[in-house]
Amino acid sequence: MNDTLNGKKQNGVSIGVRRLIAYVVLVLIVFMCLIWFYILFINSTRSNAELTRGFTPLPSSYLFTNLDNLFHGSLPIWNGLFNSFFIAITSAALSTYFSTMTAYAIHVYDFKFKNAVFTFILMVMMIPSQVTALGFLQLVINMGMEDNFIPLIVPQIAAPITFFYMKQYMDSTLPISLVEAARIDGAGEFRTFNTIVLPLMKPAIAVQAIFTFVTSWNNYFIPSLILHDDKMKTLPILIAQLRSADWLKFDMGQVYVMIAFSIFPVILVYLVLSRHIIGGVTLGGVKG
């Protein structure tokens, strides 16, 4: 009897120790993730002269001065915000929708060379964008589509990484019998996809929408090759221009406040879509 009680106490102590270690590790991870945002906020409240003297953990009083200098400077910040937001939102919507549709076709239909098509899409995923950038730029120039958002949005429809994630998610959550039942009830293929498949895929769509939005939002390489007019440029290009200003106009406080300004839409999109991720995880736990 005493041995049993001692064993339970030891198990309770060991569980408590493991839980304490887990909490400490989680707190350290959260700290490491958030400290950079805190440093960014602190630096955005300081002047260029204060930044040259080194880091301080306390905020300064130049936040509104930096914002005023930024918005009343020579760069079209609001245009850049709209351009980045439009490109990122449109890219995320098209990428997730058509990638889910492609994954649905591979998952549901049986056709010749199905495995070969799947393998080819995965092979395309291995090709970095820098390899095809020169040919893509030449194509854009020949089509007269410089300073245009279309070359930045339409290619996002073919997103092998998003397709692969959707296909893996469908393998675990979308039974073929559900699609067959919808067909027996008289639902067409597009109606089945839009009214049955998409709602089941909400958690996966939310995750990939966040990733695609952030990737498009932070994309600098391809837009910098295509967009030349200041009013058509995205925020990453404008940030690079602000950082490359000559030493007479260079203001690191403006750079930090612009970086902080460009992060808020990403946080907003995450807060909007995160409820679908949490809801999907909860739903999966209930079904299990």
Distance CA 68, CA 141 (A): 37
Q: Do residues 111 and 75 both lie within one domain?
A: yes
pLDDT mean over 245-251: 68
Q: Do residues 102 and 224 both lie within one domain?
A: yes
Q: Do residues 40 and 76 both lie within one domain?
A: no
Q: Do residues 24 and 118 both lie within one domain?
A: no
User: Would you say residue 60 lies in a domain?
Assistant: no
Q: Do residues 193 and 260 both lie within one domain?
A: yes
Q: Do residues 38 and 176 both lie within one domain?
A: no
pLDDT of residue 3: 55
Q: Do residues 14 and 96 both lie within one domain?
A: no
Task: Please count the other Cβ atoms lying within 10 Å of the Cβ belonging to residue 199.
Answer: 9
User: Would you say residue 259 lies in a domain?
Assistant: yes
Distance CA 178, CA 197 (A): 9
CA 192, 190, 153, 124 dihedral sign is positive
Q: Do residues 24 and 80 both lie within one domain?
A: no
User: Would you say residue 55 lies in a domain?
Assistant: no
282 — pLDDT class (breaks 50, 70, 90): very low
User: Would you say residue 129 lies in a domain?
Assistant: yes
pLDDT of residue 83: 93
Long-range contacts of 264-273 (CB under 8 A, 24+ apart): 265/81, 265/84, 265/85, 265/88, 265/217, 266/213, 266/214, 266/217, 269/209, 269/210, 269/213, 270/210, 273/206, 273/209, 273/210
Give the number of domains in the chain: 2
Distance CA 239, CA 237 (A): 5
pLDDT of residue 278: 61
Q: Do residues 162 and 249 both lie within one domain?
A: yes
Range of the domain at 26: 2-44
Residues with Cβ within 8 Å of residue 112, at least 6 apart in sequence: none
Distance CA 186, CA 182 (A): 7
Model's pTM, two decimal places? 0.81
pLDDT mean over 19-48: 89
- Evaluate whether 79 touches 227 at the Cβ level (below 8 Å): no
Q: Do residues 29 and 78 both lie within one domain?
A: no
